[in-house]
Amino acid sequence: MDSQKNKATDLIRLAYEAQKRSYSPYSGFQTGAALETAGGKVYQGCNIENAGYTPSNCAERTAFFKAVSEGERSFTRIAVVGNYPGKPGDYCAPCGVCRQVMREFCDPETFEIIIARGPEDYKSFLLKELLPESFGPDDLV
Ligand code: THU
30 strand-pairing partners:
83
Please state the length of the chain.
141
What element of type H or E holds 91? none
The list of the chain residues with pLDDT below 70 reads 1-6
Residue ranges of E strands in the chain: 30-37, 42-46, 75-83, 112-118, 121-126
pLDDT reported for residue 3: 42
User: 141 CA to middle of ligand 1, Å?
Assistant: 33
Q: What confidence tens digit (pLDDT) does each residue in 113-138 have?
A: 999 999 999 999 999 999 999 999 99
Q: What is this structure's pTM?
A: 0.95
- Residue ID of nearest Cα to ligand 1 atom 3: 58
- Residue ID of nearest Cα to ligand 1 atom 8: 58
